[in-house]
Structure 1
């Protein structure tokens, strides 16, 4: 029998599988279609799990078909994207909602995991410099407000682009919604005379440095929207110079400058400046706009792997800064032990299989980068190079069904809050458990009929355990294919559980939203190892 034509042969996942990904006997098949019901050829399809090492990627064939084979049993998310279309996850009803997970058993092949991608909206226009000429080579991005780190922040959406030679930009593939448009000149861009007047800080449409004064731009499905011209706001850029040495007096490798907004939140308009340190220890950072920053110096001993760091806050007000002194230290050491709530640990769980991290309290924290610990055969551990607020985490290697039960320093519970490291510390105790709690169930409407399209929010009754202090007790879920929801690996606590029609991704981190959901929720008290099955009623909820 002759092989089928190429247009009928789905792409396989082998070329896009992550090296070392687990294999099995299950599979997923489907099609990627446009909202006109036509096939999208060569669309990118990604298969995601809780472990990035088990992710896969493939592309669709000429009929829009794809197939993932030899998958281990587990829960997966399927996403699809291509160019001008809005990227979506399987089961996603709205552009900013969550999708549905796909549960696979050994030997099971799930078919018709189809995703329909709508054509994205477009925002276009022309950007000018402060003298009215075209601003070429400027990074443009569309942003939306999402809740993160305790407040709403601007997050980049879609595909950032650069203005062309006549200052024109075209932001495409945008979901319907409301956006802010931002322009960010690059300090390395030779097309913009950064040492004179154009700003190196982000300018928001229609021409302001103040995020609060930015104008919202509403994009309807598939709309091509043309904005009026706007101008980069002038600001004097300065130079920062000084010396940066390590504890031995030798020059460090690098100095970094990060805007405070980026240090704390991963702002949509990235702003990091780096400088190489000269052999005499001097450095210079150029083209720095006014603002609040953290300036960092880092030094790495290639032979021992030891890292030295230092960080200081810095305010730039429009004048050059000279003779700034940075001196790194080796940081401090933390020692402790890993225990098990039901000893002994299984023979298959080895200390060398776990990854212990002492993470900065926030992303890009001025206290330095991630610090990886060494776990010894007797389950004692040591972490070096620490400074500032740190959270101790077992980042990788725990078997399925295991989790961190608690982290204590002396009598202080630091499971969900950082420990300020100002000196060497001893006695950090991390307890692991194979008895996490679980909440599962289904949802019905007012007439008692099962509902299959909804979102479930699970959050702690005690607000001190909720965001922004901790997200360990927080879950936002969509149902699986059978219409049921399941939240695994929960710590013991009293929880509130509520089902609502939809929830934008990230909104579960908003304490104000959780307070609005509180009177609608069902209370469930879980001890370690408990599993509660709930039947929830779909609540009619409109956010205030």
Structure 2
């Protein structure tokens, strides 16, 4: 049996809208499905019951012409989570995946100069919907890729002379549970530089909001060009935002600023006063533009960074891995220090790392059956909200936070603002109590010192939200996105645990499990941007048309929602 699903993407679409630790520097990552030249996915074993097929064609949305060489990436989900296959479109734009195991998949198509699209999307920033294969079927999945948007212009110096060979970096404005951030658009297959006339053309952009940076890196001190953001400021907060629509071309000429580049130098030592050879040093700004990373190669712990422009920075230092290191380095140490760099060399810095905050406590269980999990398989960790070393403390000990037989635990290396979470399937975090107060969703500032007596409560009660969505005619909708978000939270609470997004399963029903008990709002849309649920402005707009409900412990709640157009 053959089913046909043809995806058409319109050419024009409207956009919906440890020590002192600094804001987290976004780590550049390739988005899912971006082809990596020269890298082949691992070979996959094909189960005996793999009898389904996916085939289709990739074309340009504006001309309908086949896109030869387009890259199609397929990822499995659920029981097929290990499936990772890729293909190239032939001269007619056709591709095919044979011997597929029935189940859910995400499929992407990309080609340089065009916007990467996922199967099921009508616009590139929509949340992808999984395609479900049934046994003995051939699933037709066609892609019509829109040409990417363009930011073009001319780059000059502050006297009006054109600048050649300067890199232009588009930074996407994204939303996350911890707030807004700027992230380089790494989906672009090529870097962008100004030509001999100073002209530049940053192409292949997906619809969205951007900040454009011009970067000229130099290790030389003295007067030089410094990283500048459109329309001509060295401060990312003052940069003008550029809205790029589907296949839209937007002009953005500006002049780069000059400044005196200086040296930042000093000495790195451990909390025991020993020099830290091979320590990792990262000098960063609010964005990842101009980030500098180096190793301390001097045995005495001396370091020097040349070509640093005036501005506000965070200097992150972490000790090297423990392999072959003296005993006093067995504990990973780190620190983050705020630096204000002016027009003179900043020398003589003494940077002292530390082991971070230590947290001790106990895990208890509330079970309707009287059971409790194997303590050896329960691990408590600090989810860092604002640090450069990742979401967990940079400890070299893989057992950090693992439970002892009596339910006690110790976490070392905490820093910044921390939420405490537990990794254990089948159990849900109920509460985190410190000195009688509930801090489950309120970050603890590690600068306040070590913690003892933290109480972590797990429960096996599970909440579930099941629902369906009707369109404007009252008929069951089969294509939609549901966002669930909290009605009200306590002061200082982080909403991330209470915000969820659901898409319909094969039966047209959406399901959400393990939402914490609370009061919620739910709204259904035909499509939303991929990060819209974390945008406070979007949630506020959705609030007036959303359906309110309360979820009690252990409750299964059924919802009937109307599609919001």
Q: Could you tell me the TM-score, scaled by structure 1's length?
A: 0.79
User: In structure 2, do the counterparts of structure 1 residues 439 and 367 end up closer, same or farther at CA, with 3 Å as the change threshold?
Assistant: closer
Q: How does 1:150-299 map to 2 (within 5 A)?
A: 151-157=179-185, 158-159=187-188, 161-163=191-193, 166=196, 169-176=200-207, 179-187=210-218, 195-199=222-226, 201=227, 203-211=228-236, 214-215=239-240, 217=242, 219=244, 221-222=246-247, 228=253, 230-252=254-276, 253-254=278-279, 256-261=281-286, 267=287, 269=289, 271-274=291-294, 276=296, 278-299=298-319
1:347-367 Cα offsets, whole Å, 9 max, x none, are xx6555555432322241799
Aligned-partner Cα distance in 1 for 2:437–2:534: 25
SS across alignment from 2:127 = coil
Question: Is contact 2:393–2:412 with CA below 8 Å preserved after alignment?
Answer: no
SS across alignment from 1:513 = helix
Aligned-partner Cα distance in 2 for 1:538–1:120: 30
Aligned-partner Cα distance in 2 for 1:361–1:136: 40
User: In structure 2, do the counterparts of structure 1 residues 393 and 320 end up closer, same or farther at CA, with 3 Å as the change threshold?
Assistant: same
Residue 117 of structure 1 pairs with residue 145 of structure 2 = yes
User: In structure 2, do the counterparts of structure 1 residues 489 and 39 end up closer, same or farther at CA, with 3 Å as the change threshold?
Assistant: farther
The structure 2 residue matched to 1:455, chosen from 481, 491, 496, is 481
User: In structure 2, do the counterparts of structure 1 residues 256 and 55 end up closer, same or farther at CA, with 3 Å as the change threshold?
Assistant: farther
User: Which residue of structure 1 aligns with residue 108 of structure 2?
Assistant: 79
Aligned-partner Cα distance in 2 for 1:242–1:141: 31
Question: Is contact 2:207–2:246 with CA below 8 Å preserved after alignment?
Answer: yes
Aligned-partner Cα distance in 1 for 2:469–2:403: 47
User: Which residue of structure 2 aligns with residue 59 of structure 1?
Assistant: 87
Aligned-partner Cα distance in 2 for 1:102–1:335: 45
User: Structure 2: which 5+ residue stretches go unaligned?
Assistant: 1-38
Residue 472 of structure 1 pairs with residue 497 of structure 2 = yes
The alpha-carbon deviation at position 375 of structure 1 amounts to 1.7
Q: Could you tell me the TM-score, scaled by structure 2's length?
A: 0.77
User: Structure 1: which 5+ residue stretches go unaligned?
Assistant: 1-13, 262-266
The higher-RCO structure (CA 8 Å, 6+ apart) is: 2
Aligned-partner Cα distance in 1 for 2:349–2:463: 52
Question: Is contact 2:53–2:100 with CA below 8 Å preserved after alignment?
Answer: no
SS across alignment from 1:196 = strand
User: In structure 2, do the counterparts of structure 1 residues 429 and 80 end up closer, same or farther at CA, with 3 Å as the change threshold?
Assistant: farther
1:437-467 Cα offsets, whole Å, 9 max, x none, are 222222223431223333322111114389x
User: Which residue of structure 1 aligns with residue 421 of structure 2?
Assistant: 393
SS across alignment from 2:364 = strand
The alpha-carbon deviation at position 61 of structure 1 amounts to 4.8
Aligned-partner Cα distance in 1 for 2:257–2:524: 46
The structure 2 residue matched to 1:360, chosen from 362, 380, 384, is 384
User: Which residue of structure 2 aligns with residue 3 of structure 1?
Assistant: none
Aligned-partner Cα distance in 2 for 1:239–1:464: 46
User: Which residue of structure 2 aligns with residue 375 of structure 1?
Assistant: 402
Aligned-partner Cα distance in 2 for 1:151–1:423: 25
Aligned-partner Cα distance in 2 for 1:213–1:388: 26
Question: Is contact 2:102–2:132 with CA below 8 Å preserved after alignment?
Answer: no
Residue 440 of structure 1 pairs with residue 466 of structure 2 = yes
Deviates more, 1:448-457 or 1:363-372: 363-372
Question: Is contact 1:259–1:291 with CA below 8 Å preserved after alignment?
Answer: no
User: In structure 2, do the counterparts of structure 1 residues 393 and 150 end up closer, same or farther at CA, with 3 Å as the change threshold?
Assistant: closer
Aligned-partner Cα distance in 2 for 1:405–1:108: 44
Aligned-partner Cα distance in 2 for 1:463–1:471: 11
Aligned-partner Cα distance in 1 for 2:394–2:114: 36
SS across alignment from 1:435 = coil
Aligned-partner Cα distance in 2 for 1:474–1:331: 30
Aligned-partner Cα distance in 2 for 1:168–1:499: 44
Q: How does 1:21-40 map to 2 (within 5 A)?
A: 29-34=54-59, 35=61, 36=64, 38=66, 40=68
The alpha-carbon deviation at position 485 of structure 1 amounts to 2.5
Question: Is contact 1:43–1:64 with CA below 8 Å preserved after alignment?
Answer: no
The structure 2 residue matched to 1:90, chosen from 119, 129, 134, is 119
The alpha-carbon deviation at position 71 of structure 1 amounts to 5.3
SS across alignment from 1:450 = coil
Deviates more, 1:50-59 or 1:310-319: 50-59
SS across alignment from 1:322 = strand
User: In structure 2, do the counterparts of structure 1 residues 250 and 55 end up closer, same or farther at CA, with 3 Å as the change threshold?
Assistant: farther
Aligned-partner Cα distance in 2 for 1:183–1:505: 27
User: In structure 2, do the counterparts of structure 1 residues 187 and 99 end up closer, same or farther at CA, with 3 Å as the change threshold?
Assistant: same
SS across alignment from 2:344 = coil
The alpha-carbon deviation at position 340 of structure 1 amounts to 3.3
Residue 497 of structure 1 pairs with residue 522 of structure 2 = yes
Aligned-partner Cα distance in 2 for 1:381–1:313: 32
Aligned-partner Cα distance in 2 for 1:116–1:458: 31
SS across alignment from 1:279 = coil
SS across alignment from 2:530 = coil
The structure 1 residue matched to 2:341, chosen from 316, 319, 332, is 316
The two structures, once aligned, show a CA RMSD in angstroms of 3.8
Aligned-partner Cα distance in 2 for 1:216–1:420: 32
User: In structure 2, do the counterparts of structure 1 residues 341 and 139 end up closer, same or farther at CA, with 3 Å as the change threshold?
Assistant: farther
Aligned-partner Cα distance in 2 for 1:76–1:146: 25
